[in-house]
Amino acid sequence: MTLDKLQMGTSARLMHIDSSATLRSRLLELGLTPGTDVSIVRVAPMGDPIEVKVRGYRLTLRKKDAALINCQKI
């Protein structure tokens, strides 16, 4: 399952990022590392962007970037 498919209020554990080296390294710098728990805080009315809570802060991601992040519901 990918991060963009989760519903608001759902929590998940990040598994891996399927992306180019540049975007992958940027997401890792932001704290989206494998094994990290995230929860979906908000989704914009048209579905883009998505706000997630990770490591105690809120991060907004574009839906196309969230689609590259594989996760597992917890």
Residues of the chain with pLDDT > 90, as a percent, come to 38
- Rounded to the nearest integer, the mean pLDDT of the chain is 89
Residues of the chain with pLDDT > 70, as a percent, come to 100
Would you say residue 38 has pLDDT above 90?
yes
pLDDT at residue 48 in the model:
87
**Which residues does 25 contact at the CB level (< 8 Å), separation at least 6?**
none
pTM of the model: 0.83
Q: What is the rounded CA–CA span in Å between residue 57 and residue 17? A: 20
- What structural domains does the chain harbor? 3-73 (2.30.30.90)
Helix, coil or strand: residue 53: strand
> Where residue 46 falls among pLDDT bands split at 50, 70, 90?
confident
